[in-house]
Amino acid sequence: MAEQLIELNVTGMHCNNCAMSIHRLLEKKGLQDISVDFAGEEVKFTNNPAVTLPQIVKDIEGLGFKVIGDPALHTPRFYEQVENKFILCAIFTAPLLLHMVLPWHLLHSTWVQLALCLPVFIVGCLHFGKSAFNSVKGGVPNMDVLIFVGSTAAFVYSLVGTLQHLGPRFMFYETCATIITLVLLGNVFEKRSVNQTTSAVKDLMKIQQTTANRMVNGSIEVISAKDVRPGDTLVVNQGDKIPVDGEVLSGGASIDESMLTGESVPVDIEKYGKVIGGTLLIKGNITMLATKVGANTTLSQIIELMKKAQAAKPPVQKLGDKVAAIFVPAVILISVLTFLFTYLIGQSDLQTALMNAIAVLVISCPCAMGLATPTAVMVGLGRAAKNGILIKGGDTVEAVTDAKYIVFDKTGTLTTGKFSIQDIKLNSGTSLEEVRGIITAIEERSNHPIATSLVEQLKSLSKTKTILISATEEKGLGMRAEDVNGNTYFLGSGKTADTHYNLSLYKNQIQIAQIAIDDTIKPEAAGLITQLKQMGITPILLSGDKNNRCQKVAVALGIDEVHGEKLPDEKLSIIDVYKKKGKTLMIGDGINDAPALTRADVGISMSGASQIAIQSARVVLLNTDLSSVVKFLQISRHTLLTIKQNLFWAFAYNVVAIPIAALGFLNPMVGAFTMAFSDVVIIGNSLRLKRKRL
C-alpha cells in the first residue's frame, strides 16, 4: 500500500502531555510526519504499510482517548461528558464535606462516608485511572497519574481504617472525593477555555456550513455547499453567503470580505469578477460559475493552514515540553520522599505523613506547563486571522519578535501595483496597434500586478489581435511567447540605455518597442516605514526595477538602503548578507520574490500575490493595507510575551507550591483546588490576547 497522510479526530486530550503520549506511541510504530494537536483534537501521520489503521486506532484508544468520525456529527455520550461527571461527583461530595460542619450523626458514620465516596472514587478511576495506567504503559506519565495515586492513597487509607474500626482519625473519604471533584471542575473550566482559544478555526469552519442555489435545467435546487462541483452554475442572492470560490457570469454585487481580509469596506464585483466562498453578499444578485470547491477553496486552505500553524511548536515551547515529560516521575519521587522523611525522620504520625505526600501529588501541575505555549499561540493566530493576517506556523511568532531588518519588494508591495503606460517608443517601423496587441496577448497570460494593470489599460484602446500558442514566465526577467505564425516574443525588464523606459518588447530577438510604465506609492507606506524605524527595525528596498525608480520611491518613503535592478539569485545573496547581521523579514508578491521569501527568516506575502509567492511565504497579508505589517509584528510580540508569562507562572507555581505541600503547610483538598485553577489562570492569561490593546 502506498504511503498516504492519515487524519484522525481524537477526543479526550487535555493538554500537551496527552498529545506527547500519542506522539510517542505513533513514533514507536514507525509512523512518519506525525502531528498531534490536542486543542484541535486532530492526529495526522503518514501510514506505515506494516501497521494497519484499525490497530493504530485501537492503540490510541488504549491510551484512554477516543477516535471519532466527523467531529461536527459527533455527540459524546451522557456519561462521557466531563460536565456530567463533575455534577455526579459534586452531588456525593457535598454531604461528605458537610459532615465536617454539621453535627448530624448519620454523616459521621464511616459506612455512610464510604457509600458516598465510592461512586466518586469509581468515576475517578474510570476518568483518571485508565488514562494514568495507559500513559505509564506508553512511557509518558501524565497528570492523571498524580491525581489517581493521590485519591487512591486517601481512599485505601480510609478503607483500611473503616474495615479495622480504627476511628475517625483514619477517615479521609472527603479528601479522596474532593480531590476528584475539584480536578473535574478544573477540567470543565479547562475544556471551555481551550474551546475559546480554538474559536478562530471553529468560526471559519462554521462559515463553510452553508447552502447553495444550483441552477439545473432552468430551475433552482438547494444543496449543501460541500456538494457543489466545479462547473456548477450557482445563483447567489442578497444576504446569502457565497458557497464556494468562482467567477461572476452575470449580475453585480457588493460583497463583505471582512471575514477573509479584515477589511470592513465592501468590495464591488461585476461580470467576470472573482468571488470567494464564505464571503457575504450584502447588496445585489449574481449568477456565478463554481471554480474551486471542497478542500481547494480559499477558505478551506486557510483553515488547513491555521490548523497546521496551531500545531507548529515555537522553540520556546521545547523547554516546557522537556520539563513536563520528566515532571510526573519527579513529583512521585518527591511525594515518596516527603512521606518517608515526615514519617521516619520527622517522627510524625502515619496520617500526617500520608496527607503531606498526597498534597504534593495533587498540588503539582504539569498540565499548566503543557498549556502555556499552545493556548497563547492559538489565541494569537486567531486574532491575527481576524485582522486578515494568515500566519502559517506557531514558530513564526517567535521568529519575528527580534526582527532587525524588513526587506521590501517595490512593485505591488510599497506601491499600488496599478501600473499605467506612460510612453511607448517604437522601433523598426512597427505600428502602435501591433505593439498594443502583442503586449495584451502576452500579459493576459501572467498574474503579475504589472500585467493585470496593463491589460486593463489597453482593453479600451485600438490594437491588432495577436494569437499566441504558448507563453511562459521567467523569474525576474519577463515573459516569453510564441504566436500561431511561429514568431517569438520577449517582454521584460531588459537593461536599456534610456532609464526612462523600463520594459522592452522583442520580436524574433529584435527590439521593436520600449515601454515606460510607472505606478503610485501606497498611501500608508510612509507611515509604515516611520513606525518600523520607531520599533528599531531597518527598512530595505530590494527590487528588480530600475535603480532610478527604486531611488525615487525610497526617497519618498525615507528608506536609506536601496538595491535596484536585482535578479532573483542576486536577491538571495542580498538576503543572506542581512541575515548575517540580524533577523531578516522579506515582504513581496511576485514569482521573482519566491526564492527570497523562502530564504528570509520569515517571508511575508501580499494577498494579491502569485500562488508561488503565497506558498513560499510563512505569513500572508490578506488585507492589502500595509498597516497590517505593524499589526502582525505587534500580535507576534504580544503572543511571545504571553507565552513567556505563562511559562513563568507555570514554573513558579510548581516551584513554590510543591515545597509548601512537602513541608505540610497545605491541605490536599486546597492543593487540588489550586492545581485545578492553575490551568484556568494560564488559559485565562492567553485569552487576554483576544482583546488586549496592542
Regarding whether 109 and 140 lie in a shared domain, the answer is yes
Regarding whether 88 and 177 lie in a shared domain, the answer is yes
Regarding whether 118 and 167 lie in a shared domain, the answer is yes
C-alpha cell at 484: 500561431
Coil/strand/helix, residue 537? coil
Let me know if residue 26 belongs to a domain.
yes
Residue 1 pLDDT: 46
Residue 119 pLDDT: 94
Map grid coordinates 536609506 to a residue.
560
Beta carbons of 503 and 517 less than 8 angstroms apart: yes
Strands 602-606 and 468-474: unpaired
| Domain count for the chain | 5
C-alpha cell at 660: 509548601
What is the phi/psi pair of residue 631, to 5°?
A: -60, -40
Let me know if residue 205 belongs to a domain.
no
Q: Could you tell me the end-to-end alpha-carbon distance of the chain, in angstroms, rounded to an integer?
A: 51
Residue 249 pLDDT: 92
Let me know if residue 474 belongs to a domain.
yes
CATH of the domain at 236: 2.70.150.10
Residue 307 pLDDT: 67
Give CA–CA dist 673/643, Å, rounded: 24
Give CA–CA dist 38/561, Å, rounded: 45
Residue 189 CA from chain centroid, whole number: 22
Q: Mind giving me the DSSP string for 418-465?
A: --EEEEEEE-TT--HHHHHHHHHHHHTT--SHHHHHHHHHHTTS----
C-alpha cell at 315: 522553540
Beta carbons of 616 and 631 less than 8 angstroms apart: no
Residue 481 pLDDT: 94
C-alpha cell at 7: 487524519
**Angle at alpha carbon of residue 637, lines to 596 and 187, rounded to 5°:** 120
C-alpha cell at 14: 487535555
Regarding whether 285 and 147 lie in a shared domain, the answer is no
Residue 51 pLDDT: 77
Beta carbons of 313 and 373 less than 8 angstroms apart: yes
Ranges of residues in the chain whose predicted pLDDT is under 50: 1, 609-610
Give CA–CA dist 532/406, Å, rounded: 9
Give CA–CA dist 407/410, Å, rounded: 10
CATH of the domain at 569: 3.40.50.1000
Residue 179 pLDDT: 79
Give CA–CA dist 305/294, Å, rounded: 15
C-alpha cell at 667: 491541605
Let me know if residue 646 belongs to a domain.
yes
**Angle at alpha carbon of residue 495, lines to 440 and 488, rounded to 5°:** 40
Residue 616 pLDDT: 63
Beta carbons of 132 and 63 less than 8 angstroms apart: no
Helix (H) or strand (E) holding 292: strand 280-292
Catalytic residues: 409
Residue 201 C-beta-side C-alpha neighbours within 13 Å: 25
Regarding whether 482 and 531 lie in a shared domain, the answer is no
Nearest to 489 by CA among 471, 477, 474: 471
Regarding whether 174 and 109 lie in a shared domain, the answer is yes
Regarding whether 441 and 349 lie in a shared domain, the answer is no
Let me know if residue 69 belongs to a domain.
yes
Let me know if residue 385 belongs to a domain.
no
Residue 610 pLDDT: 47
Give strand ranges (E) for 451-582.
468-474, 478-483, 488-492, 503-507, 510-518, 538-542, 561-563
Give CA–CA dist 673/680, Å, rounded: 11
Q: Which residues contact 648 (CB under 8 A, 6 or more apart)?
A: none
Regarding whether 86 and 178 lie in a shared domain, the answer is yes
Residue 132 pLDDT: 78
Cβ atoms within 10 Å, residue 546:
18
Give CA–CA dist 58/61, Å, rounded: 5
CATH of the domain at 443: 3.40.1110.10
Residue 428 pLDDT: 72
Give strand ranges (E) for 192-244.
211-216, 219-224, 233-236
Strands 583-588 and 488-492: unpaired
Domain boundary among 75, 95, 128: 75
Regarding whether 428 and 491 lie in a shared domain, the answer is yes
Regarding whether 189 and 93 lie in a shared domain, the answer is yes
Regarding whether 654 and 584 lie in a shared domain, the answer is no
Beta carbons of 506 and 419 less than 8 angstroms apart: no
Beta carbons of 515 and 534 less than 8 angstroms apart: no
Q: Exposed, middle or buried: residue 160 (CB in 10 Å: 0-12, 13-18, 19+)?
A: exposed
What is the phi/psi pair of residue 535, to 5°?
A: -85, 0
Domain of residue 68, residue span: 5-75
Beta carbons of 43 and 8 less than 8 angstroms apart: yes
Let me know if residue 138 belongs to a domain.
yes
CATH of the domain at 42: 3.30.70.100
Domain boundary among 55, 75, 95: 75
Instruction: Give tens-digit pLDDT for 206-241.
Output: 777 788 999 988 889 999 888 899 999 999 998 898
Regarding whether 132 and 48 lie in a shared domain, the answer is no
Let me know if residue 636 belongs to a domain.
no
Residue 366 pLDDT: 63
Beta carbons of 242 and 235 less than 8 angstroms apart: no
Give CA–CA dist 359/449, Å, rounded: 65
Handedness of CA 92, 96, 101, 104 (dihedral sign): positive
Domain boundary among 237, 266, 299: 299
Q: Which residues contact 292 (CB under 8 A, 6 or more apart)?
A: 230, 244, 245, 246, 277, 298
